[in-house]
Structure 1
Amino acid sequence: ALWAGQPEVAANYLQRYGQEQLLIGDNVSLFLKWRSELPQDLFASTTRLIVLHSWALVICARLDEVDECLADLAKFFPQPDARRQAQLLAQWQALRGFVARLRGEPEARDHCLQALEVLSDHAWAQRVLCYQVLSQQAMAESELEQALHYNAEGMKLARLKGSLLYETMLSVDRVQLLEITGEFERAIGVLEESLRALRDSVRHSPIIGRLKLLQGHLLAYQGLDEAAREAYQQGRIETETCGDSYVFFGYVGLAELAARNQEFPAAYHWLREAERLTQWRHVPEARFRGILSLITALTWLHQGKLKKARAALVDVLESYEDQAYLAPSGFYELLPRVQRYLAVVDLLAGRAAQAVGALQALIEQNLRTQRLGLACECRFTLAEALQQCGRHAEAEQELRKALVEAARQQLTKPLLELQQRQPQWLAKILPTSKGESLGERLLQFQRDSDDSPSASDEAVLSNRELTVLRLIAQGCSNQEIAEQLFISLHTVKTHARRINTKLGVARRTQAVARAKALGWF
């Protein structure tokens, strides 16, 4: 059409390339390649093409270019009527909200809420993406019930429209949400189910790459380093081929694995690759603010370079506190995790008493915000700090609590850290047989604890039962709980019945009161 001198026809063909197509194969790279080869004014000739062009840039995290692209919408204002004017403004707000979230800016929520009030059913894809932003923003602010609500609304809409790609894209957030709240088994189940569904539909997609990277992360937390490394590599190659900025998480994940295994040349190689990637693809520092510094600090920590590690960690905290940014998407626990590693630095530097106070505050904060996985990691470090302070009875009590929580969450990573620094002490509490892995020892500890009459109240409910009880405490009906957790009404009733039985109460109000008395909420 261009060769025939018909730019309007060319634009019409090009804008049929829908947003979903950007989530298949290397279509983002292809679309941006066309932009470099075809006349520039073609991509700014219609509002649909400007919006499509902007979403392609968002996927690549070329955020500064998104601003330039959205500026082209100005020439299409005013629209012929108020309805079209409002719809176009809502499209702009949805994109602005997404860009603000990627930059860690708090105003992302307002943009997306205002867009949702106006966007028509015809613009359902933008509505789904607004729900994703709101869910990610809530995770960054530790409002996890709110995050679950928005995620459920987005998935419900994606299913209603029959969009498997958008549904699995939101599953990435759902898996991370489950991981944060300590539901590792459920997180792995949702992830594997999403991968199977997507692979039956498309051969290559940036969403497949994101799921594989997330799989590597979960495997690393279970102490399955070789499987984690393979998943990270698969996810890195998939996202890199598809032009997706999430490839960054593949590089830093591989760097963290290498550092943990004392493979420091490999760790620094992957860190350099991550930095080179952001420069080569023109990804602004805001997209991954602080993540590279954190993984570099962890590498120094494993090498015993405590002063350098502490300086890097403090720089991360200050960069956020000075500007009031929120944690980046895909790394929602950045700041509390930095605080935990600062306590580890204090511990290793001989300031165990200082670490104890910081860790006790962190555990309380993480339990209050339902970050149960991170609370468990902090409890292991607290036990080690108490042991170093000579408070041996308290240390053993904290370690046993941590082991119960780790067993319930299938969390092995903090045990690996403790085994490296305190192998004899851990072996005393967690006996080992020849050839038995840490994960197997943890399962045996859980079985022994379940049989013990002195098992603590905190170990009574499963993570899923705790989640159901929290939703009950918020006043949700059984039907609302079923919709939010994507389980059947019968399953909700079964959970509620078991909760009452385990807590020795007759009604849900009594169960909530009992949980509050135990300090769970």
Structure 2
Amino acid sequence: LIWLGWVKKLPAALVRERPVLCVALAQALLNAGQLEAAAARLVDAEHCLASATNDLGQSENATAEIVYVDEAQYQTLPATLATARAYHAQAIGDFAGTVQYVEQTLALLPEDDLYNRAAITGFMGLAHWANGNLETAYQIFAEGLFQNDNDLIKGTFVLAEMQMALGNLRQAEAVYERGVQLAEAHDPPLPLGTEDVYAGISLVHREQGKLETAVTDLQTCHQLGEKVKLPDWRHRWCIAQSQMELSLGNLDRALELLDEASRVYVRTPVPLVRPIAAMKAQVWLKQGRLDEAAAWAQEQGISAENDLSYLREFELLVLARLLMARHQRDQSDDVLQEAVDLLTRLLQAAEARKRMGSAIEILIVMALALAAQNKLPRAHDSLQRALTLAEPEGYFQCFVDEGPALARLLYAALAQGIMPDYVRRLLSAFPSSEPELTVPPQSENSELDWIEPLSERELEVLQLIAKGLTNQEIAVQLFLALNTIKAHTRNIYSKLGVNSRIQAVARARDLGVLTST
């Protein structure tokens, strides 16, 4: 940044006649996120080279009209220029341009220039990531990382984020842990990019429900970032910290951090898969600020009819949540069906490209939407699909963060014997002070019902009641005292708002807590 400030003070004409300096200035501007200014300097360099070539009729004599100091730098200038063009194209979202300039650079670089060939190939991987081709993106980017520790550390968060999007949470954790090991093997100070590794691994640990570990990761990230003073680390820290605050229920603080992330954001070739404005809209929905979330959707031109693309996937998922919130407020069945249709399209697109990380979140939201439609068997099926994908990889917080509405569906899953060990672990993380669970309307004329979650033991008793066992038989089967069973039965009646065994079973089946047999 000091060098950039110095070069900016030079006369423009002096810089324009020095193409090597032009490109170096453009690279510095790109790193600072000043993309328009960088593009102008690249044009200056191209014009300088073209003008000299045209004036003298042959490129080998063109150097007479060009000012440069280092012969080697001048000879590699076309490749350097094409590399900068690839960076710029990727940063502005011109992914076809990225591919074009990567291929141009590779044609210009010597076959034995392994370092630069590997570096430029990484842009191709980023272009595939932005287009949602994550498996291809991972393979290309991993191969493109030149095998030295510093480059591997800088590229760690890219590889890990791709794995998370693919639903490979454990592999993402392994990638981050490898990055930490490489960084800590260095003598102090730790290499650049280590701060990003800690920001990224905090997201993995948070998703695994290891909130205390994630807090420590974020503290380490902040400490390292304050030392390096690079422009982009703070953006990643703010995003990761905001997600932690969201999980802790500190919604106002989460919004403050997202605002700061927006202020410090520097556009780079790394695709912004979750736009900050959409993340803010999701928090607003949790706060019940539907008008602000609706204004966001209108400003961004987001509607359920939008063509699907990976870079709009998260925005459209937030839109589905907005439509569901509107249904809850206005009781509009058409709006709710619009959300279900949109979620169906998003799920098909994610599964087609094997983006199982996306699929898990979409399936969870789909379960909530179907439950709101009183299509409980389909809601339970959607939740079971999410659980099946999530359990082997250790997903946790994405369920808990949905709050009491999802807890109700999880209780129903437990009652049906769906992945009971996993579901119990998830339910154990819901706050004990959580308000009663909202139950969707059972018919067009039904009122909004509320139930208090049944305990695990109460669910067991209820299942045996549904099988027709007497209190004495239940006591024998569960190895409990008869008075204990009677107490559980009274609690079940109270929570379900009924006065008899028959009513309890019928009510539980209506709510999806029990299935008909």
- Give TM-score, length-normalised by structure 2: 0.66
CA contact (8 A) 1:206 1:239 kept: no
1:90 paired with 2:67, answer no
Instruction: Assess, with a 3 A threshold, how the Cα gap between structure 1 residues 136 and 180 changes in structure 2: closer, same or farther.
Output: same
Tell me which residue corresponds to 1:362: 346
Tell me which residue corresponds to 1:73: 45
1:240-264 deviation digits (Å, cap 9, x = unpaired):
5341424212223323432443323
- Give TM-score, length-normalised by structure 1: 0.66
1:348 paired with 2:325, answer yes
Q: 1:190 aligns with which of 175, 189, 213?
A: 175
Question: Which has the higher mean CA deviation after the structures are superposed, 411-420 or 336-345?
Answer: 411-420
Tell me which residue corresponds to 2:190: 204
Deviation at 1:396, TM superposition (A): 1.5
Tell me which residue corresponds to 1:258: 245
SS in 2 for 1:175: helix
1:322-358 deviation digits (Å, cap 9, x = unpaired):
9x9x99xxxxx54111111211222222243322222
Following the alignment from structure 2 to structure 1, what is the Cα–Cα distance between the partners of residues 12 and 428? Answer: 60
Gaps of 5+ in 2: 54-58, 63-71, 328-334, 431-517
1:438 paired with 2:415, answer no
1:63 paired with 2:35, answer yes
SS in 1 for 2:132: coil
Following the alignment from structure 1 to structure 2, what is the Cα–Cα distance between the partners of residues 369 and 56? Answer: 36
1:114 paired with 2:104, answer yes
Following the alignment from structure 2 to structure 1, what is the Cα–Cα distance between the partners of residues 230 and 39? Answer: 19
Aligned length: 397
Following the alignment from structure 2 to structure 1, what is the Cα–Cα distance between the partners of residues 224 and 111? Answer: 32
Deviation at 1:54, TM superposition (A): 3.8
Identity of aligned pairs, percent?
19
Gaps of 5+ in 1: 1-28, 328-332, 443-521
1:387 paired with 2:371, answer yes
CA contact (8 A) 2:368 2:379 kept: yes
Following the alignment from structure 1 to structure 2, what is the Cα–Cα distance between the partners of residues 134 and 71? Answer: 23
Deviation at 1:42, TM superposition (A): 9.7
Following the alignment from structure 1 to structure 2, what is the Cα–Cα distance between the partners of residues 200 and 300? Answer: 43
How well do the aligned residues superpose, as a CA RMSD in angstroms?
3.8
Q: Kindly provide the amino acid, as one letter, of the partner of residue 353 in structure 2.
A: T
Deviation at 1:218, TM superposition (A): 2.0
Following the alignment from structure 1 to structure 2, what is the Cα–Cα distance between the partners of residues 314 and 213? Answer: 32
Following the alignment from structure 1 to structure 2, what is the Cα–Cα distance between the partners of residues 378 and 167? Answer: 32
Deviation at 1:275, TM superposition (A): 3.5
Following the alignment from structure 1 to structure 2, what is the Cα–Cα distance between the partners of residues 257 and 273? Answer: 15
CA contact (8 A) 2:274 2:315 kept: no
Tell me which residue corresponds to 1:245: 232
Following the alignment from structure 2 to structure 1, what is the Cα–Cα distance between the partners of residues 73 and 320? Answer: 55
Tell me which residue corresponds to 1:274: 261
Q: Kindly provide the amino acid, as one letter, of the partner of residue 138 in structure 1.
A: H
Instruction: Assess, with a 3 A threshold, how the Cα gap between structure 1 residues 272 and 389 changes in structure 2: closer, same or farther.
Output: closer
1:221 paired with 2:193, answer no
Tell me which residue corresponds to 2:140: 150
CA contact (8 A) 2:26 2:42 kept: yes
Deviation at 1:49, TM superposition (A): 5.3
SS in 2 for 1:58: helix
Q: Kindly provide the amino acid, as one letter, of the partner of residue 101 in structure 1.
A: Q
Instruction: Assess, with a 3 A threshold, how the Cα gap between structure 1 residues 86 and 131 changes in structure 2: closer, same or farther.
Output: same
Specify the structure having the higher radius of gyration (Cα): 2
Following the alignment from structure 1 to structure 2, what is the Cα–Cα distance between the partners of residues 287 and 378? Answer: 20
CA contact (8 A) 1:252 1:274 kept: yes
Higher relative contact order (CA 8 A, sep 6+): 1
Deviation at 1:439, TM superposition (A): 8.8
CA contact (8 A) 1:104 1:286 kept: no
Q: Kindly provide the amino acid, as one letter, of the partner of residue 91 in structure 1.
A: T
1:335 paired with 2:312, answer yes
